[in-house]
Structure 1
Amino acid sequence: MMRLYATRTSRPRSRNKFGKRTVAAFLMAAIIWPVLTFAALAADRVALLIGNGNFDTPALSLANPINDVIDLETALSALGFQVSVLRDGTRSQMLTKLAQFSADAKGAEVAMFFFAGHGVQYTGENYLIGREFSVANTRTLLSSSVTLTEIRKALERARPKTGLIFVDACRDAPFDIAEIEQTGLARTSGGAGLMFVYSTDPGNVAFDGSGRNSVFTSALLDHIDTPNLDVRLLIGRVRQQVVMKTAGKQVPWVEEALLSELALSKAGAASGLNDPVVADMQRWQVVVRDGSFEAVQGYLAAYPNGTYADIAQSILSYGDGSAAKPASQTSLEIVGDNPDTAVAALKMLGFVPTKMSKETLGKAELGAAFERYQSTASATGDVSFETMIDDATRLSMMLASTTAQRMRTDLVALNGVERTLIIAEDALSDFETIAAGNDDYLAELTQARRDVAAIKDARDTVLGRLDGSRDYYRSLLDQSVLFVPEDATLALLNLSGGTRGALNVNQRAMADTGQFLKHVHSSRISEVGSMSWLTDFLPKQKE
């Protein structure tokens, strides 16, 4: 290298375009530019991970939090995050890291905060406990913990496009403070663009798990790098896995006000897109969003024997609304007295676009939609508001039953595929150890890897189906609580003559429908964010 450099500089000066200083500057720029470019890209995704597992009081120590943040740091770094980690931090150290995180997150595409350790609620506030906590009283708790409000405000100051706050806490703490009567963490909400993800629902405790990671973090690590998966669906898969692993004893809780979709992993192709059941479900989701008879007709043309074909036919039995009756002042007054209920029911029946609200619709338009329903209802003359509610309720029951059957089937399938995958991966690991450096086994080893990949593809397909059915069932619940009467019964499915849409349903469908009505009732009285109903779809455990 020295001779090459000397030879180049020994040429006449007029032929040398770059002097020593210029060459050095050029080489320095070549080194620094990729670093600066990477830093600029990394700053679009920032994360702060805090794991408090080793406390000054040994009895408080936890096995998993440090492993959780170590493994999550590896996963997030691979996804392009600029990751900062604090292990076994005090309140002061946590606040220092939080301030730096807030500064780093300004204008970021996504900023993610993750905490693993002890957490408790007191007077409506959530406290994430620092390492120095030792004396079980509220004064020590307040002086050695960071509040979730402080974390939320740090993100609100930074104003990233998307802010994610994960709290894998609310483990059953081995201490007792007299003033604290409730276990678990309290519900917290934030501003637009924020998502709060708790490892379990309010007032309940979370499990540490028997392996390297907690049950919640293990599920998060399993799905966080799924290509092109929106973060809402990602958390749905995490929650689904936690519910299955804990037999419904732990149900992660979500509060979100996200303004756009976000995929943490953008590499590769989305999974499950070629599966006919997934495509069927995606097409039906288009129908739901559109809310028009034309969309229903388009679905039937594409999927005459599809999952929702019978229900689509039932919707079309109401006609296309082209022969509306003259305006009725009475009907306008009826829907005007019950606008929320009327909008939700008419959306379910397809007479109001799903994207419209009572504010954007207006009283006159709502009345006109109700009259279109009246003009296409049964010829018996019974076209009252109550009849519309019955029709909408029956349709939601039918949709829920169909979706529930798909969800239950796929949860059983997922359970079996995952058991098979564990066995196959263990066998492959053993085979790779035995065959290491031996080309005689190369063909068999290659085939074994393909077999494991095929099982993973099958799992991804089932997960894709569950994403659709799980979220659609939840949307049915969210809409149905607005109009389904509290005294609704299965008798609505067996009505004949008075209204259209009645179906002959089997015993399993009747059971699913009855379960849906119970879910509607529990959703009406529970906090938004709960998906405890998911536990009712778990595969039955063998004795």
Structure 2
Amino acid sequence: MRSRLLTQFARLVVLLALAVSLPTAAGAQERVALVVGNGAYRNATPLANPPNDAADVAAALRRIGFTVIEGRDLDKRGLEDQIRAFGRALDGASVALFFYAGHGLQVAGKNYLVPVDAKLERPGDLSFETIDVGQVLGQMEAEPRVNLVFLDACRDNPLARSLARSLGTRSASVGTGLASIHSAVGTMIAYATQPDNVALDGDGRNSPFTTALLKHLPTPGLDVAVLMRRIRSDVVASTRQKQVPWDHSSLIGDVVLVPGSGAAPSSAAVAPPVTPPVAGPPVTASPTAADRAQDADIAYWNSVKDTGDVAQLRSYVTAFPAGTFVALAHLRILEIEARAGRPGDDPRSKLSALEPGGGVPPRPRAPRENCASRAAPAGSDLYCASSVLEPQLGSTYGVRNLFGDPGAAWVEGASGDGTGEWVTVAFDAERLVRGVVVNNGYEKSTDLYVKNGRVQTLRVVFSTGETRTVTLQDRLGPQTVTFDRPVKAHWVQLVIDRTYRGTRYTDTAISKLSVTSERAR
């Protein structure tokens, strides 16, 4: 007994030492991930998104330094082979990560992953046709390390219903969704939704859970506990509270997968490579001080913008007094205070306080913004983009490309998929804004259109503090969006909130954009 306790104590000391070292480098040794997406089911409802989810998560993990074992639409034999390969690759690894998207089910409190060839007609089929999640955890927890498990496997599963029917009076043992798993020290298990609930596959390229994971995973300096809170917030909002991501964690200390700007890089925490150009060979470049400053600005804003907490929004303004989102932060603060019903807290009555000398709140600005003027029927408009892809092979991707031929495009130039990047349109006088017209993606050719990212959701922020959400279709050609009512404003900011991911490049493009407005009376 004493020997066993000493062994357990030694393992705990190793885990503590490992966890303490993670915030600066996310592990000094190799990090290994197994990523599986099953959608082409032969005996159950096919799922459109899991193969996309797996492909995009695998790419994101490689960009932050993981060695990735990847499988899509795996049958039972293929899934078992990948799990074995994963176990072999984990020897000496400090971080293990498992992501699964597809059908899953729980029986008698145990969770099972469903290969694409599974056929469940009688109780005895379960052990032969599915994979117990415990088999994967067994591989991961064989040595002391940090283990991260993401299960986007709670879709409505007809195989579970057919198995329940075959069990007769014992059908209650077949639960809805997945059951909560209690894991060993050093493991976090994240579910797409709360235990015993069903998750959504989603209408876009990715499920709501994977969309949020991909959005926040690359954030520098983000602890995985904070990562899960941000994922939960996004999914609750996008599914209108139908789906609440859940996690069970026995991690010790902080676990940071992407070092912050002050952390030294290591072999296990490699900075994401520079995004390839729209055409031609990849071009690499070292990030400048301005790049790092803007990345820190965006990361901080993303951490506070949806909290609804005035103190946190003010902390952003204090940390970045000339930041990209200062004007928006002030407007959010006024909006929150007005909703709280404090006397005199009407946002419109306080707009003059946002700028010395009173008047219109300043439009959002960015260190690397690119601006151009455009004549409009109602006057003159100034378009500014938060970032722009550097010229490649004789082509430029500046904001001026939004004015003319859809064969050209504005392409954002920051790392990531374009989420958080924006275009502002500042008017020469107050306008009555009725809507927007957008040619989505890079429309030079159908091939380039699908290779590059496209905008799925735009958040339109007005100088008055009002907002609108615009959802664009994933198609070529102009799309006209008319607001529910016109809004008087001196400028509008169009922020990319979600994207349709490209098949080859992570850049997001817009070929043409204009604001429908008229002079306010």
Higher helix share: 1
Higher strand share: 2
TM-score of the superposed pair, with normalisation by structure 1: 0.45
The structure having more radius of gyration, on CA atoms, is: 1
TM-score of the superposed pair, with normalisation by structure 2: 0.47
